[in-house]
Homo-oligomer: A and B are copies of this chain.
Amino acid sequence: MKLEALREQVLEANLEVVRRGLVLYTFGNASGIARDEGLVAIKPSGVPYEKMRPADLVITDLEGRIVEGSLRPSSDLATHLALYRAFPGIGGVVHTHSEFATSWAQARREIPCFGTTHADYFHGPVPVTEPMPPHEIESDYELNTGHAIIRRFGALDPLRIPAVLVAGHAPFCWGKTPLDAAHNAVILEEVAKLAFRTVTLSAGTQELERVLHDKHFLRKHGPAAYYGQG
């Protein structure tokens, strides 16, 4: 039963990033975790979104052993699992090649916070990973991609900065639930687009003042939030 709800939410997260234009063909993948059971539901690899049903999702444990499902899981499964193991507060992970976020990842630049749209969702710049050494690419590549993200985060709080750019690759996003992760992927793309145009208009744009960054982040998150119908 709980697994049924997880399947449906993970499917919905996969479809949300398609609807928002973040996905071309079968690019991208979303997953979710049932923490109590230690089970993860993830998109199968290379299946067209329009044909995907909840039963097509692949269920694995946190070590990647397939528990349910006849299809091969997304080839990025090991990255998702590494994130779930390292970040206990997250409930969903979304990976896309969305246009503007991927362009920042390819340019290997973190996305500075230039405005309140960014500050509303990310409590700091969106970081970019260090390049991976050749041996980490040659074997266990997807697992090591997860490790590169975790190393980059260090002491950062993944729930306050729910996205990362993998250098030369594309973004990974996460959230408290699969839908929350998909929402953050959509917002990240918007923020990446605004920042792209901001640096085009003025290469030396300064980052948002810290006090304004805090004001916006905290009016939407945490105990003093006053945005929405909370």
Q: Which residues of A contact B (CB under 8 A)?
A: 24-27, 44-47, 71-72, 75, 97, 99-100, 102-109, 114-117, 131-132, 134, 137-138, 141, 168-170, 183, 186-187, 190, 193-202, 205-206, 208-209, 211-212, 215, 219, 226-230
A24 to B186, Cβ gap below 8 A?
Answer: yes
Decide yes or no: A45 and B228 within 8 Å by CB, A131-B209, A168-B208 being known contacts. yes
Beyond A108-B205, A115-B169, A219-B75, whether A47 also contacts B200 by CB under 8 A is no
A200 to B131, CA, bound (A): 21
- The 6 lowest CB-CB distance pairs between A and B, nearest first, are A46-B228, A103-B197, A107-B201, A106-B115, A107-B202, A106-B114
Say how many copies of this protein the assembly contains. 4
Extra 17 A-B pairs, beta carbons < 8 Å, given A103-B194, A107-B201, A168-B208: A24-B187, A46-B230, A47-B229, A71-B229, A72-B228, A72-B230, A99-B194, A102-B115, A106-B205, A107-B114, A107-B198, A107-B202, A108-B206, A115-B168, A137-B209, A137-B212, A168-B212
Q: How far is B194's CA from A106's CA once the two chains are assembled, in angstroms?
A: 8
Output the least CB separation between A137 and chain B (Å): 5
A107 to B108 alpha-carbon distance, docked (Å)? 21
**Can you list 25 pairs linking A and B with CB atoms under 8 Å apart?**
A24-B186, A24-B187, A25-B187, A26-B228, A45-B228, A46-B230, A72-B226, A72-B229, A97-B117, A99-B190, A102-B115, A102-B194, A103-B194, A106-B114, A107-B198, A107-B205, A108-B202, A108-B206, A109-B202, A116-B168, A132-B212, A134-B211, A138-B215, A141-B215, A200-B200
Knowing A24-B186, A197-B100, the reply to whether A44 touches B229 (Cβ < 8 A) is: yes
